[in-house]
Amino acid sequence: MSTFAIVDLETTGNALSKQDRMIEIGIVIMKEGKTVKEFSSLIFPEREIPPFITSLTGIKDEDLIHAPLFSEIAEDVYHLLKDCYIVAHNIEFDLSFLNEEFKRCGFSALHNKLIDTVELSRIFLPESPSFKLGQLAQLLHIGHDNPHRALSDAAVTADLLTILLTELEGLPERTLVHLLRLSDNLKSDMRSLIENAIEKNRYNHQVVDKFDIHYGIPIKKRRLNSKVTRDQQPPFSEWLHHAYEGKEGLQQIISRFETRDGQKQMSEAVYKAFKEKKHALIEAGAGIGKSLAYLLSAVHYAISHKERVMISTHTTSLQNQLLEEEIPRLEALVGRPLEAVLYKGKSHYISLLHFSYELERSYHDNYDISLTKSMILVWLTHTSTGDIDEIQLPSSGQQFWHKISSEASKNTKSVKQDPSSYWQWAEEKAAQADIIITNHSLLCLELISHEKKLPDFERLLVDEAHHLESVASRYFGIRLNYKELQRQLTQFNELFHPAVFKSLNVDVKKQLDHCSHYVEAAKEELNHLSRYLFRKVKSVRNNKQSKSDVGRVQYLLKESNDDKFVYTSYEMTNRFLAPIHSIKRETAALIEVLESIVTSDHNEEVQVLRQRLINHAEMCSTIIHQLESFFDLGGDKVKWIEIDVDGASNSIYLYSEPLDVADQLNEKLYATKKSVVLTSATLTTNGSFNYMKRLLGLETRDDLHELSIPSPYNYEQHVRLMVPNDFPSIKTETEEFIYSISEAIYSIAQVTNGRMLVLFTSYEMLKKTYYLLKEVAAPEEFMIFAQGISSGSRDRLKKNFQTFDQAILLGTSSFWEGVDIPGDDLSCLVIARLPFDPPDQPAQIMRDSRLKSKGLNPFMEQSLPHAILRFKQGFGRLIRSTTDRGIVFVCDQRLIEAKYGKYFISSIPEIPLTYQSTSKLVQDMEKWL
C-alpha cells in the first residue's frame, strides 16, 4: 500500500525569481486511507511579509521572530518525504519551493512520485465549478476551519485525495484502460494507482452494470423518460388565483412570498398575448418577479393547449435560474413533473464516434489534450446530457472539442440510427417538452439559417429582450479574425497528414500533397493580408481614432475611404482565397475516394474522415462567401477593421453588421410566429416604447400590446442619487477628470468600506483609473478588481469582489447589466459618465449618417434613447432586493446641466437627488449610510 505525504506551504509570494520564501509548512502522512503522522512549523523567511499575504494568512512578521530557519528543520522534513508519493494542491508550486530550500541547505532535490490534487480534481470531479481548494472543500462538505494555514490546508488536501482515489476506483475497467494510456502525459504519477484499480474492478459486476458501452467508451446508463400525463388544467383565471392567492399556492412553496399586483398583471398580459395571437412588449421593473410571472402563463398555455412554448434568454445565469429555481416551484404547484428542457445547438453535445476516433490517436497529444481526454472520459460516466457546458475544459481543450462535438457528426451517414447520440437524446426530450428554453444566439441562428436549429414553435417569450437587436446584428453580419482563420488552416493540415489515411489502404498521396501545399500558401497569403491591414490601420492612428470597449483601435471602411487601400485589400483577399478554392476542390476529390471505399455504416474510421472533410469543405465555402463580400462597400452594412496596437502585427479583426435588423426581425420572426412576447426591465425611454419598437422591428405592427410595470421597491427610502458639481470638464481636461474620479472613488470607498461598483463607458478611462487607484490605495486597505486587467471572466471577477470585505470593482461594457450583487456586498454604484456610445464608433457613425439622410436627428433618435436604456440598466445594479440600500454617484454634470439630463432622471424611479461639491456629498453619504 502506497504512503502519501500531503504538503502545503505558505510563502511570501509565488515567485522564486523574486526571492520569495516559505513562512509555514504543513505535512500530513497518510497510509491505507488513514492519517498516521502530522508535522507543521512556522519558518523565518529572512524577509518581510507583504501586507496581502498577512491579510490572506493572518501570519504577521512578529509571529515569525522566534520561528526556525528552514535549515533547522530541513533534515526532519526531508526524511518525512523521502519514500512517499508527494501530494499537493498545485504540486509544481510547492515542490519548486521545497527543492529550492533543500538545495540551499545542501540536500539533493526530491524526485519522488507526485500527485497533483488540482489535476486529479479536474479529471475525477470534472463538473466542479472551481478547482480551488476552499471551493472544492465546500462542494464536498470537507471541514476547512483554517484556510490559508499550511497544516489545515494539508489536512483538507488529504481528505480530498481520499475522495479522488475513491472516484478512481469506482470507474469501469474500460475507462481505466483509456486513462492508463493517457497517464504518462500527466503531471501526476498515476500509472500504478490506475493499474491497481483495473485489477480491483476487472470482475466487479456492480461497477459494470452502471454503464453502457458505445464505440468502446463506457457512458452512464441512459434512463428513458416516462411520458408525463398531462392532466386537464383549470381555466387560466382559476389557475392564476390559486397560484397567487391560494393557501396551497406560491405562498406555501416560496418562503415569505408576497403577492405583487405587478407580477399577476404580467402573467395575465403574457397569457392574453398567447391566446389572442398578438405580440407584446412588457417592461417589468426590478423586483416584479417576471420570470415566475411569465412561466406561470407559459406552463398553463403549453399544458392546456398541448403546444410547446419557447423561451429565449441572453444569459446562461437566467437559463439556470429558470431550470433550477423557477421550474421546480411550478412543479410543486402543479403536483407533477414538468417537461422543461434547455435546448442548445449541436456544437454543445459530444459525438462518441469522433471522441473514440481521437482516443485511438493519442500518441501525439500534448499535456492539455491528454488532460482534456481524461476529463471527458470520466465525465461520460457521470453525464446524462453529454453537454460540454457541464465541465470546464483547459484552453487547448476548447479547440479539441470542435473535433468531437455533434456538429462534427452532422453529415455522418449512420447518425440518424445512432443509439449513442446525445444530440438525438436532446432532440427526443425537446419533442416531448412543454417548455423549451434556449438563447438569443440560437434563436437568431434559426432566423438566418437554411437548416433547422430549433424545434417547431408558434409562441415565443423573449426575456432580456433589449439584447435581441445586438445579437441579431451579430448573426446577420460577419466576424472574422486572423487567429481563428489560422486555427482553421492548422486543423486542415492536421487532417491532410498521410498518417491519417495510412490504415485505409487508399492511394491519396497526390491529393494530400496538393492540399498541404495549398494550406501553406493560404497561411502565407493570410499573413501578408493581415500585416497589410494592420499597418494601414496603425498608420492612420491618432488620438481621436475610435477604440472598442477592450481597447482595440477601429478603422471604418467607407466608400469615401482611400480607394487604393480598399482595392489593394480586395486584391490581397482574392490571393488568399485562391488556395482556399483549391483546398475545397481537392477536399471534394478526397471525399469521392472515401465514398468509393465505404462498404458499410460500421466502417467508423472512414465515416469520421469523410465527415471531417465535408466540414472542411463547408468551412472553405463560408470563408469564401464572407471574405468575397467584405471589401465590397456600399449597401446597408457597416464594415470595420480592429487591431490591437500592442499585439502581434498580424492580429486583425474584421466586422460587418447590418445598419439595422428591424426588417429582418419583422419578416423572419414576428410575421412567422403567432405570438412573440418581449420582456425586460429596460424597454422604455422617457415613458415610451417607441425607440425599442423601432429597434426591434415592431414599429409598423398593429398586433402589438404594450405594458410597463413599475418596480415595487421603495427606491425613495433606499437610494440616494448624488452628482458632484466640481468635476473638471472631460472634453478640455481629460486627465484632470480621471484624477477627480480616482480621488472620488477612494474617498467614497473609505466611507462605504469598499463595496463599490464603478461603471465606465471607456476601457481606456477604466485602465487609467485602475492604475491611479493602485498608487493611492494600500493593498491592505482595498482589493481592486478591474475588467480586462484582473484575470478571470465577469462572473469570476464578481465572485472575487464578493470574497473580500473591502473591495472595489471597475467594469465596462457587460458590467452595465446582468451583474447581481445583492445585500451588503454593494453599497455604492459610481457611474463615471453617462453611457452614450462614443460618436466615433463605426456602427454609430454609419447609423447617424443614415438617420441624417432621412432628415432625422441622430442624437434624439438613436444616441439619447440608447444611453438612457444603459443608464437604467446600470442603475439597476444597486438595488436587487427589498432590503438593499445605497448610493448612486454620477460623475457627469450633464445629468443636471444638459437639457437632455431630465430624460435620464425621469426614466429611473423618483429618488432624492443632491448636486453639490464632492467633499460635501461624501459627508452627506457618511451620515446617510
Using one digit for the tens of pLDDT, what is the confidence trace for 520-541? 999 999 999 999 999 989 887 6
Residues 586, 68: Cα–Cα separation, whole Å: 71
Classify residue 9 by its DSSP letter. E
Smallest Cα–Cα separation from 795: which of 827, 769, 823, 818? 818
Q: Residue 3 CA to chain centroid, in angstroms?
A: 40
The residue assigned the cell 545542501 is: 106
Q: State phi, psi for 332 to the nearest 5 degrees.
A: -65, -35
Quote the longest CA-to-CA distance of the chain. Answer: 86
Which cell goes with 599? 462498404
396-415 burial, b if ≥16 CB within 10 A, otherwise e?
A: ebeebbebbbbbbbbebeeb
Helix, strand or coil for residue 643? strand
Q: Residue 744 CA to chain centroid, in angstroms?
A: 32
Q: Residue 526 CA to chain centroid, in angstroms?
A: 29
pLDDT value for 414: 47
pLDDT value for 632: 83
Length of the chain: 929
**Which residues pair with residue 8 across a beta bridge?**
26
Strands 783-786, 34-42: pairing kind: unpaired
pLDDT value for 204: 67
Helix, strand or coil for residue 679? strand
pLDDT value for 415: 44
Residues 127, 398: Cα–Cα separation, whole Å: 15
CA distances, 466 to each of 413, 479, 696, 714, 866 (Å)? 41, 21, 9, 25, 10
Residues 460, 587: Cα–Cα separation, whole Å: 41
pLDDT value for 254: 86
Amino acid at position 596, single letter = S
Report residues of the chain scoring pLDDT below 70.
1, 203-208, 224-231, 409-419, 541-545, 549, 560-561, 598-602, 791-798, 800-802, 813-815, 817-825
**Which residues pair with residue 654 across a beta bridge?**
480, 641
CA distances, 194 to each of 112, 113, 123, 172 (Å)? 18, 14, 13, 11
Residues 70, 68: Cα–Cα separation, whole Å: 6
Quick one: which H or E segment has residue 88?
strand 85-88
**Which residues pair with residue 342 across a beta bridge?**
437
Phi-psi domain of 347 (left: phi exceeds 0; alpha: psi -120 through 50; beta: other):
alpha
Helix, strand or coil for residue 35? strand
Which cell goes with 244? 397567487
Classify residue 547 by its DSSP letter. B
CA distances, 642 to each of 557, 673, 847 (Å)? 11, 37, 19
pLDDT value for 411: 55
pLDDT value for 731: 82
Q: State phi, psi for 688 to the nearest 5 degrees.
A: -125, 145
Let me know how many helices (H) and strands (E) the chain has, helices first.
Answer: 38, 25
Residues 618, 614: Cα–Cα separation, whole Å: 6
pLDDT value for 647: 81
Residues 294, 264: Cα–Cα separation, whole Å: 9
Residues 751, 924 contacting (CB under 8 angstroms): no
Please state, as a whole number, how many other Cβ atoms lie within 10 Å of the Cβ of residue 171: 23
Please state, as a whole number, how many other Cβ atoms lie within 10 Å of the Cβ of residue 613: 24
The burial class, CB within 10 Å (0-12 / 13-18 / 19+), for 564 is exposed
Q: State phi, psi for 115 to the nearest 5 degrees.
A: -130, 125
pLDDT value for 203: 67
**Which residues pair with residue 212 across a beta bridge?**
219
Please state, as a whole number, how many other Cβ atoms lie within 10 Å of the Cβ of residue 539: 9
Q: Which residues contact 99 (CB under 8 A, 6 or more apart)?
A: 109, 110
Q: Residue 332 CA to chain centroid, in angstroms?
A: 31
Residues 490, 196: Cα–Cα separation, whole Å: 39
Residues 770, 280: Cα–Cα separation, whole Å: 43
Helices 604-630 & 563-597 angle (0-180, nearest 10): 160
